[in-house]
A and B are shown apart, each in its own frame.
Chain A
Amino acid sequence: MTTHRLAFSKVDTAKFISHLDLMRTFQRAFLRAGLAIKHTEGFNPHAFVSIPLPLSVGYSSACEVLECQLLGEVDLDTVPERLNAVLPEGILVHRCYEAQRPVKELCFVNYIVTLEYESGAPFGVDTDIQELLGRESLVVRKRSKKAKSGFTEVDLIPLIARTSIEERRDVVCLDLVLRAQNPGLNPELILNAIREELPEAAPDFVTFHRRAVLDDSFQIWE
């Protein structure tokens, strides 16, 4: 049976919809759009959808992926329009296609992390951060459900594939390519490291944006 994928973006108010709520939102949207998809079995059958790389609440994204199985004869080109008509504000489906490559080939995520400073970016912050992320190793503590202490240590450096930093008047933009899975790296941890190691570079506010999902040769994965 063919698996279908939706490529969609999640911005503005929709940034604050959590992963589980987003799945529910899509399940209902398919029904509103009159698109039949495969259901789970059991006492409470519900539309089966899955999102391979859950996005943290508050992050925006231009490259989300949802998997489902559309039933019956459907012209895939009409799916984005049909869904967009019934989705909440801030979620926009760009494309619906048959899945070819397996999810495990999704290796990297490109994030744009914007550090905002109310009174202007401190001088030299960009080079400081560049240096920090260029170290041989950068071990941070991370919450863990498995570890008894509730925390575990993780070295960020092997999980960072590319870094490019640009400083503007009151913002610093980090263009990061991070490992996506097994294990993946949440850019929040990089922020924590900056706050810890470079207190003077700690921003007043941060936004996280997922720009692209990539394969192991840094080409767009879909």
Chain B
Amino acid sequence: MNRTLEHILPRVQKPARYTGGEYNAVMKDRSQVDIRVALCFPDTYEIGMSNLGIRILYGVMNEMDRVWCERVFAPWGDMEAEMRREGIPLYGLESGDSIADFDVIGFSLGYEMSYTNVLNMLDLAGLPLRSEDRDGLSPLVIAGGTCAFNPEPLAPFIDIFSLGEGEDVTVELIELCRKAKEECWTKEELLIAAAQIPGLYVPSLYEVEYKEDGTIASITPTHGAPAVVTKRIVQDLDKAYFPTKTIVPSTEIVHDRVMLEVFRGCIRGCRFCQAGYAYRPVRCKKPETLVKQGIESCQNSGYQEMTLSSLSTSDYRRLLDLCDGLQEWCDPNGVSLSLPSLRADNFSWSLMERLQHGRKSGLTFAPEAGTQRLRDVINKNVTEEDILNFCRTAFAGGWSTVKLYFMLGLPTETDEDVLGIADLADKVYRVWREVTPNRARGVKITVSTAFFVPKPHTAFQWEGQITREEYERRVKLLREHMRGRSTVYHWHEADTSVLEAVLARGDRRLADLLECVWHKGAKLDTWNEYFSYDRWVEAMEECGIDPAFYACRQRDKDEILPWSITSTGVSPRFLWRERERAYEGVITPDCRQQCTGCGADKLYPNGVCDAEC
């Protein structure tokens, strides 16, 4: 280990985050590799190591010949201060080498509030923040993940964005980098060539012009770059790489268990949900594949917990087969299996009972809105009856903790909808009174509301976010009507939701804001210890940016949206139709009942969405 590092680690919290050396970390001989990749997650080790995407890409790249991919996370403030003081640049956890000397630096963008960490990490690496100030062929700074579907706020900092699933395109891009390096291309030559690979968006090859009112007049591709970059997907998940021999952190992380990805995409079409649209079409793995991968993952890691991961696990057609197959091995081997992301309308209690082994942990689900009318608007397709029946069975079976998640500020929401949340909580309480076998034990109903953030590539991408004042009024209204000592109400603070709304649908001009707020010290903005709303307000004022323009403004149908150069495969025409149906309060059937022609099936030849597995 580096001597300076050894000297500073005893002074920082949780030093095991910064040492590498975990079981299954991939070590390679520097002289035997010609492409070095830094896979960066712009948040702490505990968060980043819990991300399945990071683990998949790490495995995919390290399986490549002569490529060494290492992990990099955002250091906590104490470590950052020590690193800056001692002059230690940001390093790869495996080798300890400075990532400024690597060929590729890749960021995974999962949430908008991590953007300042991207800038801070580039700076900690000793690199210029802006793409145009980094002349050399390396390091090439790339980024992918859900937020890449609106890449614009980060466009001036990132050389190449990768849209959609990275398993295949990452390999293609690395091969291109290798060729460029061998043939001594310029950075510009590499960027122009990269833009020809499907799924890669090179922001510097596009010119954006604005109208006087601040909206976009035109986005013009140059150097032969495509007008729209469509995301990449993996077609056959049974054959795709899955990390069954993955790193076991030596210190506790957030999701410290085996994560088994059951399927990608979602058959539902909740109109607010970016993941639901952006990860289409639904592609699943066979239970046989999953059982094999699940067992291997446990054996190779020593984990005694496994969780099934997907956007809506109870929509997996062969869930019972899968659970049977897994339990047959898990039970005798002392491995517990958990199933998050279940829906109230198609939930199997016998399955739940079996998995819980008599344990009654809390139940969580998300009606999202308080009235049937509003649930129809957002196409949640869960009825009050579903919810109450679900609770009835749960309470009768001895459960006594329920968490209900909602959003405030959904399009068309009225005070009646807000109060509907309190009503629903009350009805849940009455159901408990009616059916519980043990009233003395009491019940705990937790209601949480988040502040709705309209996201790109959803049916609500044109909507304005309600103002902070209005949101706070609705929170107050709901708080005043929440009855009973058994119900606890939590609500999100408005600050980050407002900023998220600005960044989620921002354009390139927000890059100045990000740089400005970073200069003022913004980093680790998802952490209360570091987040400062005032700092953002100050920076917005300095940069002349009106947050309402991005967050609260209602967009016209014909407005050129900043993210219109990216496509998830779901057509904007379809999204607009969904928006109209939302305002009519008409629900759209899920993909299993009827194809509604979103366009995602065209992402692969002879594509069949949600094929039987």
Check A21 against B16 for contact (C-beta < 8 Å): yes
CB distance from A201 to the nearest CB of B (A): 19
Q: Do B304 and A17 have beta carbons less than 8 Å apart?
A: no
Q: Given A12-B1, A21-B252, A28-B248 in contact, is the A58-B10 Cβ separation under 8 Å?
A: yes
Within the complex, the shortest CB–CB distance from B304 to chain A, in Å, comes to 7
Question: Which residues 246-294 of B have a CB within 8 angstroms of A?
Answer: 248, 250-252
Q: A29-B302, A57-B15 given. 10 additional CB < 8 A pairs?
A: A13-B21, A14-B21, A18-B14, A18-B251, A21-B250, A31-B298, A32-B300, A43-B358, A45-B334, A88-B21
Which residues does chain A contribute within 8 Å of B18, judged by CB atoms? 16
- Given A29-B302, A31-B304, A88-B21, A16–B252 Cβ distance below 8 Å? no
Known: A13-B1, A58-B9. A30 touches B302 (CB 8 A): yes
3 tightest Cβ-Cβ pairs between the two chains A and B = A28-B302, A13-B21, A89-B21
CB distance from B95 to the nearest CB of A (A): 12
The yes or no answer to A138 lying at the interface (CB within 8 A) is no
Are A90 and B9 in contact, CB atoms less than 8 angstroms apart? no
Which one, A27, A32, A86, A88, contacts B250 given CB within 8 A? A88
Q: A192 at the A/B interface (Cβ < 8 Å)? A: no
Most chain A CB atoms below 10 A, which of B15, B25, B302: B302
A205 touches B (CB below 8 Å): yes
Interface residues of B (CB under 8 A from A): 1, 7, 9-10, 14-16, 18-23, 25, 248, 250-252, 298-304, 334, 336, 357-359
A162 CB within 8 Å of chain B: no
Least Cβ–Cβ distance between B609 and chain A, in angstroms = 39
Interface residues on A, range: 20 to 34
Q: Is A53 an interface residue (CB 8 A)?
A: no
Contacts of A30 in B (CB 8 A): 302
B16-A17 in contact (CB<8A): yes
Are B334 and A32 closer than 8 Å at their CB atoms? no
Chain B residues in 8 Å Cβ range of A86: 23, 302
Of A20, A31, A39, which one neighbours B302 at CB under 8 angstroms? A31
Q: Could you tell me the distance in whole angstroms from the C-beta of A8 to the nearest C-beta in chain B?
A: 14
Question: How many angstroms from the CA of A72 to the CA of B413 in the assembled complex?
Answer: 64
Does A25 count as interface, using CB distance less than 8 angstroms? yes
Which of B9, B357, B359 is close to A16, meaning CB atoms less than 8 Å apart? Answer: B9
Given contacts A58-B10, A88-B23, A18 and B16 within 8 Å (CB-CB): yes
Residues of B close to A29: CB separation below 8 A: 23, 302
Which residues from 102 to 118 on chain A have a C-beta closer than 8 Å to any C-beta of chain B?
Answer: none
Closest A residue to B300 by CB, please name it.
Answer: A32
Q: What are the residues of chain A within 8 A of B23 when measuring CB–CB?
A: 25, 28-29, 32, 86-88
Contact across chains for B302 and A27 when beta carbons are under 8 A apart? yes
- CB-contact partner of A32 in B9, B299, B336, under 8 A: B299
Q: Give a binary string over A66-93; 1 marks a CB under 8 Å from any B CB, 0 the rest.
A: 0000000000000000000011111000
Flag if A13 contacts B20 (CB, 8 Å): yes
- Asked if A149 is at the interface (CB within 8 A of a chain B CB), the reply is no
Indicate with 1 or 0, residue by residue over A191-222, a CB within 8 angstroms of chain B CB atoms. 00000000000000100000000000000000
Given the complex, which residues of B lie within 8 Å of A87, measured CB to CB? 23
Q: Which residue, A13, A24, A43, A45, has most C-beta atoms of chain B within 10 A?
A: A13
Give the distance in Å from the alpha carbon of A29 to the alpha carbon of B24 in the complex: 12
Please determine whether A16 and B334 come into contact, CB atoms closer than 8 angstroms: no
Cα A76 to Cα B334 with chains together (Å): 24
Residue among B251, B252, B298, B359 making CB contact with A43, cutoff 8 Å: B359
Known contacts A88-B21, A205-B7; is-contact A17 B302 (Cβ 8 Å): no
Q: Does A141 sit within 8 A of B, measured CB to CB?
A: no
- 5 contacting pairs across A/B (C-beta < 8 A): A16-B19, A21-B251, A44-B336, A88-B25, A205-B7
B22 near A16 with CB under 8 A, answer no
